[in-house]
Structure 1
Amino acid sequence: MRIILLGAPGTGKGTQGKFITEKYNIPKISTGDILRESIYAQDTFGKMIQKTVEKGKLVSDKIVCDLIKIRIQKKDCINGFILDGFPRTIEQAHYLSNNKIKIDYVLEFIVPYKLILERISGRRIHLQSGRIYHIKFHPPKIENQDDLTGESLITREDDKKESVEKRLKEYEKLTHSVVNYYKNQKKIGNIKFFKINGINSSSIIKNQIEGILKKHF
């Protein structure tokens, strides 16, 4: 069972990816994790990635794709895997096809951008513990203070409204062609493609995903 999760930041695909991993015992693979692990290992790829990142440049498609290919050949992927945040570009989608990496399901998480902005820009973090609050959905007892320690909460740079808007525009620009590619793959019977309404509660989405994946067994 090989699954791709598509969706802009803040659509809930990370939460559902964790659920799928635990339910079906297949690993969730994200490009961010792979790049960090490679840098930490200081292998050939890791040294190249570190130099690229230090220069403020984006890691090339080729390196990202090669790392994904290596990762999915590991033993824990024998029964399948989840790709979270990959492919991000049409070139990466073609790489999977050209390398005969079979994908069974593509799940696209849809949430209106206005709600995504509200979800992400409302996050507040207690830096020391990693505890996450939300000014609307999960506010601290005292404004801008951690419930347990009383220490100040922060807004991550990535969570600021301007940063979120920029990330959403970038996502739209890069991923529009990827979504269309997989819709066409569905038409010719190569994959199963489903839209997931990310506005629904987490439990409703879990039930929907269970219903989709149950047909695989």
Structure 2
Amino acid sequence: MRLVLLGAPGAGKGTQSAILAGKYAVPQLSTGDMLRAAVAAGTETGKKAQNLIKNGALVPDDIVNRIVFDRLDAYDCQKGFILDGYPRTVAQAQALQQVLSDKNIALDAVIEIKADETALLNRMKKRAAETLAQGGMVRADDNPESFAKRLAEYKRKTLPLSEYYREQRQLREVDGMADIAVVTAEIAAILEA
């Protein structure tokens, strides 16, 4: 299974991709996680991305593409993958299409998780509070100011992906405001159709 999950920050992409990765035994490829790992490791890419992530800005396509395409070549991606948070721009989607086409691979689905903006802000605040309560470190971009920037960037750069994939007849939508299990069931129904 080769799946792209789209949705605004906090829509549930990470939650759903983790569940689906277990269900279908394919890796969850979160660009956010890959970028945070690069930052933590102090890699060249991580250093370039660090300030952008901290301020809620999107990392440039060339950096993100390099990280994702290298990861797609890994052994565990041979049976499939779930892309969580990638592509974020039409240019990234076109680059992904070209890379997959070169490998004779097609996406099985592109699913957008739709959610209300006010609910998304509340989810971010809840996630930060739960992380703190568990003794964890809150992500640098889990604050209202960075979240507002991320949402604005999403609307400006990522939202056009919906139209792009709709034109490609690949886009399916699910209601991200439903319970987690309901959203998972809706996604599974799309994948198994």
TM-score (norm 1): 0.74
3-state DSSP class of the match of 1:92?
Answer: helix
Relative contact order, higher structure (CA 8 A, sep 6+):
2
Q: Kindly indicate whether residue 181 of structure 2 is the aligned counterpart of residue 213 of structure 1.
A: no
Partner residue of 2:7? 7
Q: Kindly indicate whether residue 48 of structure 2 is the aligned counterpart of residue 52 of structure 1.
A: yes
Kindly tell me the number of residue pairs found equivalent between the two proteins: 183
Partner residue of 1:102? 106
Counterpart pick for 1:161 among 116, 132, 144: 144
How much identity, in percent, do the aligned residues show?
39
- Once residues 89 and 139 of structure 2 are traced to their aligned partners in structure 1, the CA distance between those partners, rounded to angstroms, is 26
Partner residue of 1:170? 153
> What is the aligned-residue RMSD (CA, Å)?
2.4
Give 1:52 shift. 1.7
Give yes or no for contact 2:29–2:84 (8 Å, CA) kept in 1: yes
Distance 1:60 1:206, change over 3 A: closer
Give yes or no for contact 2:30–2:86 (8 Å, CA) kept in 1: yes
Partner residue of 1:203? 181
3-state DSSP class of the match of 2:4?
Answer: strand
Give 1:125 shift. 3.8
Partner residue of 1:84? 84
In structure 2, the gaps of 5 or more residues are 53-57
TM-score (norm 2): 0.83
Larger Rg: 1
Give 1:16 shift. 0.9
3-state DSSP class of the match of 1:64?
Answer: helix
Give 1:25 shift. 0.2
Give yes or no for contact 1:5–1:83 (8 Å, CA) kept in 2: yes
Counterpart pick for 2:167 among 161, 166, 184: 184
- Once residues 139 and 93 of structure 2 are traced to their aligned partners in structure 1, the CA distance between those partners, rounded to angstroms, is 31
Give yes or no for contact 2:30–2:85 (8 Å, CA) kept in 1: yes
Q: Which has the higher helix share?
A: 2
